[in-house]
């Protein structure tokens, strides 16, 4: 990675942006350098997460939303997450195909990612990709989750505005309520609203919203849409804009972003700790006969061994510094 490449990314050039995202996905040696170089230039974009079950039409909604944002002269970055095959390790990346209408538009950058084993509906590198697009100057960033139903809550750690997409006859409301997604959504979209059953779905949704959001200062709007005909897309973009304004005026934006940063730092520290603990875990389990020690005793033993190693390393470092 060269300083000129970093500057090119900050100037909005797409080639270095694509390269930086690839480094984040593959966790190459340049990954940390890229993130450190651009971090101070992040925080300006508004990030919208589109979540919901497969078949609800998220990709069509995202495509329509991109058109709406571009009509308002906003630049748009899109991260489309597709499931990774547990057998081949590959991903279809079909969302890239659905967004091909925007190819050739220099104001739109689309990146498809596989989940690579993540169970929360997002790719592990998604947060880094968002920051890189933000640093590159995109006004709006849209994340389309993989659509794994009851494991969609990871989107909380990435988006400012969360839109839950439902559709008639999908049984989505009850599933969303069971999963807790109802509680994190900032707005709701009933897509495929030209199908039968929309009034009933809307009524069920409003009843559940009364239970979950009645005391909230932000009342999530319910938008009917037919994405394939661009119907309801303008209303969706306006609702996102209103929520963006609410976040800024209420101070909720800073609160959410601070919470997300805390969660991510916790995750990164846990990752490093797990990497250090793994040899101790393997050794403790290997040396224990079946039922000889319960998991709590083994965990205590592992923690003591790890703390002993940390203390010994610290003492050695202090002794070395003292002899200089």
Going from N- to C-terminal start, the domains of the chain cover 42-250, 261-322
What rounded mean pLDDT belongs to the chain? 84
The pLDDT of residue 299: 87
Whether 1 contacts 34, CB under 8 Å: yes
Say if residue 89's pLDDT is above 50: no
Who wins on pLDDT, 124 or 307?
307
In the structure, what pLDDT confidence band is assigned to residue 87 with cuts at 50, 70 and 90? very low
- Structure tokens belonging to residue 109: 């950058």
Instruction: Give the model's confidence band at 142: pLDDT under 50 very low, under 70 low, under 90 confident, else very high.
Output: very high
CA distances from residue 50 to 7, 116, 197 in whole angstroms, order as listed = 30, 19, 22
User: Predicted confidence band at 213 (pLDDT cuts at 50, 70, 90)?
Assistant: confident
pTM for this model (two decimals):
0.84
Q: How far apart are CA 218 and CA 199, in angstroms?
A: 23
pLDDT at 324 over 70: no
Residue with tokens 């968002």: 130
Residue 118, pLDDT above cutoff 60: no
| End-to-end CA separation in angstroms for the chain | 35
Handedness of CA 15, 17, 22, 27 (dihedral sign): positive
**188 φ/ψ sector (left φ>0, alpha ψ -120 to 50, else beta):** beta
Instruction: Choose between 150 and 51: higher pLDDT.
Output: 51
Query: Span 63-88, mean pLDDT?
Result: 82
Query: Please, which residues bridge with residue 222 across strands?
Result: 188
Rounded Cα gap, residues 96 and 250, in angstroms: 36
Predicted local distance difference test score (pLDDT) of residue 120? 42
Distance CA 80, CA 146 (A): 8
Helix then strand then coil, % of the chain, to nearest 5:
55, 15, 30
Residue 147 banded pLDDT, cuts 50, 70, 90: low
Query: SS3 of 186, please?
Result: coil
pLDDT value for 6 = 96
Regarding predicted confidence, which is higher, 242 or 201? 242
- pLDDT at 74 (0 to 100): 97
Residue range 2-28: average pLDDT? 94
Three-state DSSP state, 89: coil
CATH label, 42-250, candidates 3.40.50.300, 3.40.50.10420, 3.90.79.10, 3.30.450.40: 3.40.50.300
Closest CA to 256 of 166, 137, 157: 157
Q: Tokens 């190819």 belong to which residue?
A: 103
- Name the percent of the chain lying above pLDDT 90: 47
Question: If you average pLDDT over each of 175-184, 241-250, 287-296, which comes out highest?
Answer: 241-250
CA distance 317 to 64: 58
**Exposed/middle/buried for 249, CB within 10 Å: 0-12, 13-18, 19+?**
exposed
pLDDT tens string 270-307: 888 888 888 888 887 877 666 677 888 888 888 888 88
pLDDT reading at 90 higher than 50: no
Q: What is the pLDDT of residue 226?
A: 97
Bridge partners of 139? none
Q: Residue 139 class from Cβ within 10 Å (0-12 exposed, 13-18 middle, 19+ buried)?
A: middle
């Amino acid at each position: 990675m060269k300083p000129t490449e970093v500057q090119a990314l900050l100037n909005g050039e797409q080639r270095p942006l694509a390269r930086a995202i690839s480094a984040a996905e593959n966790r190459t040696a340049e990954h940390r350098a890229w993130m450190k170089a651009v971090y101070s230039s992040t925080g300006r974009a508004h990030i919208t997460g589109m979540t919901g079950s497969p078949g609800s039409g998220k990709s069509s909604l995202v495509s329509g939303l991109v058109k709406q944002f571009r009509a308002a002269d906003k630049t748009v970055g899109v991260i489309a997450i597709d499931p990774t095959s547990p057998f081949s390790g590959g991903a279809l990346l079909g969302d890239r195909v659905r967004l091909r209408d925007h190819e050739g538009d220099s104001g739109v950058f689309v990146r498809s990612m596989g989940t690579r084993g993540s169970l929360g509906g997002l790719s592990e590198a998604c947060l880094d990709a968002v920051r890189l697009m933000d640093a590159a100057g995109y006004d709006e960033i849209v994340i389309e989750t993989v659509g794994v139903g009851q494991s969609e809550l990871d989107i909380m750690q990435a988006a400012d505005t969360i839109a839950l997409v439902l559709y008639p006859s999908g049984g989505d409301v009850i599933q969303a309520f069971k999963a807790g997604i109802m509680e994190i959504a900032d707005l709701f979209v009933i897509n495929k609203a030209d199908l039968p059953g929309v009034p009933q779905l809307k009524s069920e949704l409003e009843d559940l919203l009364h239970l979950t959001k009645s005391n909230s200062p932000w009342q999530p709007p319910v938008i009917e849409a037919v994405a394939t005909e661009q119907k309801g897309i303008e209303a969706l973009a306006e609702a996102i804009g209103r929520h963006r304004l609410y976040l800024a005026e209420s101070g909720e934006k800073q609160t959410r972003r601070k919470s997300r940063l805390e969660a991510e730092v916790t995750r990164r520290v846990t990752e490093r700790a797990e990497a250090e603990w793994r040899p101790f875990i393997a050794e403790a389990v290997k040396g224990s006969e079946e039922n000889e020690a319960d998991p709590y005793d083994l965990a205590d033993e592992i923690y003591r061994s790890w703390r002993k190693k940390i203390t010994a390393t610290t003492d050695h470092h202090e002794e070395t510094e003292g002899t200089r």
